[in-house]
A = this chain, B = another copy of it.
Amino acid sequence: MNSQTEPIELLIDRLHRASGLDYETLAPLRTLPASIREFSRNQTIAHEGERLDQCMLLLDGFLVRSLDTREGDRQILSFYVPGDIPDLLTLELPTMDHSVACISDAKVAVIPHAPLREICDRSSAITFALWRETLIDGEITRRWVRNLGRLQARERIAHVLCELYIRLDAVGLASQPIHLPVTQSDFADAMGLTAVSVNRAFKELREEGAVTVSRRELVIHNWPRLAHIAQFDPIYLHLPPTAGS
C-alpha cells in the first residue's frame, strides 16, 4: 500500500479488485475530498458513543476496533490493515457502539459522509461495492466468533496470523519478514486470552516449525502447517481469485 498515491485512487483500485467494477463506474469517487490525518500509537480515534460524519481510509499502520468490559478488560473486535475502511459502517450507523484505536502510528485519509452518500445515491454499483466491504468485515468477525468459541489458544493464534498474512498479502504488505505492529498483549486482547497464554502459544508454534514472531516481525516457515493448525480456509475473506495464497 503506497501512501504516496492519491488516497482516493487507492480506494478505487480496491473496489475495482474486490467487486470487479470498471474504472468508469468508479469515476464519480474521484470527486471525493480526502484530507490526511496522522495518529500516534495508542491514540483512540473514535470513542464509544461518538457520532461520526466521516469515514477513514487507512493508509499506513494498524488500527483496531475494541470494546471493554466493566472491569476494564479490553477485547479487540478486529484488526485493520492499510487499505481498509474501518468505520465505513458509520455511513449508515453513525453512532459508534465501540471504539477504534491505533496500535501503531497511523496515517488515514478522512472522507466526509455527505459527498460519499451523494455518490451512493447516484450509483448503486458503488453502493454495493461499499456494502460488500462491510459484509466481508462481518464475515471476518463471524470467523472470530467460531475461533474464540471453539478453538484452543494455539489454534486461535495460528488463525489470526493466517488471516493477517492473507489480508496483508492482498495489499502487497506480506513480504517476509512481515511487519506486524501487534504486541502479544494485543493478540491476547483479540483472541480472548492473556499475554502469558499468547506467549506460550507462540512458543509452541515456533517449536513446531510453523512461524517465528519476534520484534514485531512475522516469519512463516511452514504455511500449510500453520493453516492446518489454524483450521484456516481463506474463502471467508472473499478475496478476488488473483489475490491470496
List the one stretch of A3-11, A35-43, A63-71, A210-218 in contact with chain B: A63-71
List the one stretch of A135-143, A162-170, A176-184 in contact with chain B: A135-143
Q: A131 contacts B132, CB within 8 Å?
A: no
CB distance from A233 to the nearest CB of B (A): 8
Given the interface contacts A77-B145, A92-B128, does A69 sit within 8 Å of B138 by beta carbon? no
A95 at the interface (CB under 8 A from B): yes
Q: B149 contacts A75, CB within 8 Å?
A: yes
* A82 partner residues in chain B, CB cutoff 8 A: none
A89 at the interface (CB under 8 A from B): yes
Could you say how many copies of this chain the assembly holds? 2
A54 at the interface (CB under 8 A from B): no
A238 at the interface (CB under 8 A from B): yes
* A197 partner residues in chain B, CB cutoff 8 A: none
Q: B65 contacts A142, CB within 8 Å?
A: yes
* A75 partner residues in chain B, CB cutoff 8 A: 145-146, 149-150
Cα of A141 to Cα of B67 in the assembled complex, Å: 13
- Nearest B-chain residue to A136, judged by Cβ: B93
List the one stretch of A25-33, A102-110, A119-127 in contact with chain B: A119-127
List 26 A–B pairs whose Cβ atoms lie within 8 Å, in order of A's numbering.
Answer: A65-B142, A67-B143, A70-B231, A74-B150, A77-B145, A93-B139, A93-B238, A95-B238, A97-B235, A97-B238, A120-B124, A121-B124, A122-B124, A127-B128, A131-B134, A134-B134, A134-B138, A138-B138, A138-B141, A141-B141, A141-B142, A141-B145, A144-B145, A145-B145, A145-B148, A150-B192
